[in-house]
Amino acid sequence: MLYRLQSVGTGGTQRGERFLYDHPPTATECARLTHLTLKPGLSACLRRLYGVIVSMVQSRWAPWVRQNNRSLQQDSLLEAFLFGCNRTAVSVHAERFWHLQDRRCFYSGDRLSSPRSGEVDHFIPWSRYPCDSPLNLVLASKRENQRRRERADAAADAVKGAHTPAA
The pLDDT assigned to 125 comes to 84
Q: Which fold has domain 90-161?
A: His-Me finger endonuclease fold (3.40.1800)
Closest to 42 (Cα-Cα) out of 24, 17, 15:
17
Of residues 128, 121, 120, the one with CA closest to residue 81: 128
Which residues touch 103 (CB under 8 Å, ≥6 apart)?
111, 112
**pLDDT computed for residue 94 by the predictor:** 94
**pLDDT per residue as tens, the chain (167 positions):** 556 666 655 554 455 677 788 878 787 888 888 888 888 998 898 889 888 888 888 888 888 888 888 887 776 678 777 887 777 788 999 999 999 999 999 999 999 999 999 999 998 887 777 778 888 899 999 999 999 888 876 666 555 555 444 44
Cα–Cα dist 79/106, whole Å: 28
Ranges of each domain in the chain: 1-40, 50-83, 90-161
Distance set, CA 158 to CA 43, 77, 123, 153, 162 (Å): 39, 30, 21, 9, 6
Neighbouring residues of 22: CB distance < 8 A, sequence distance ≥ 6? 37, 39
pTM over cut 0.75: no
